[in-house]
Amino acid sequence: MDIEDDDKTHQDKLTALKERVKQRNQDDEDKRLKRIDTIRSNQIKRQAEASALWESRRALQAERFKNLEQPKTSFSQKISTMYTNAKSAVKQMSVGKSENAVERRNTSNSYSDVNGMRGMNPVAAQHLMMTNTRLGGGSKSKEILGKIRRVYKVAGSRKEHIKYKGNLIPVADYKKLMK
């Protein structure tokens, strides 16, 4: 009988151990499923927050664009504003020149050069050609120390240069030499 009792106690222990393992596996599976559910719910929350942020951003952009709406203008109004802008640009370029003192020379070849006007508004380019005004980068006439002198622009320098004894020198240096 002792052997039968030992077998029975071993069997009871074995079944109890199997039950514990089964319960542990079930608990682990429940924990894993719970973790997956929390991860999914967190992802859904983040997606909802992100979509709400995008919607608020779109609403802000729409409001900004609404504030930036410009009144519609006709084609003739656009042309007239371009013409006046070109006219004012010409006036700015000729600031400091007296109309009586400056004589325009060689207007046929240098002033009507269309190559310097590429990429420019056609109305402004035509106005510049009609008024015989040179675009920047070439040379202009200016009154320096009481004389009308030709003023040149040199690449890489913001200063105005004039020819003195065959060399281009800055206007400020020329004035220092002459005084």
The radius of gyration computed from the CA coordinates of the chain, to the nearest angstrom, equals 44
Report, as an integer, the average pLDDT of 92-103: 50
Name the band, by pLDDT with cuts 50, 70 and 90, for residue 108.
very low
DSSP state at residue 109: I
pLDDT in tens, 56-69: 998 888 888 776 66
pLDDT at 120: 64
Contact 164, 134 (CB under 8 A): no
pLDDT at 101: 41
Whole-angstrom distance, CA of residue 27 vs CA of residue 20: 10
How is the chain split into domains, by residue range? 1-69, 72-135, 137-179
pLDDT in tens, 76-97: 777 878 888 887 777 766 654 5
Per-residue pLDDT at 16 exceeds 80: yes
**The model's pTM:** 0.29
Distances (CA, A) of 75 to 27, 72, 98, 120, 128: 78, 10, 35, 18, 21
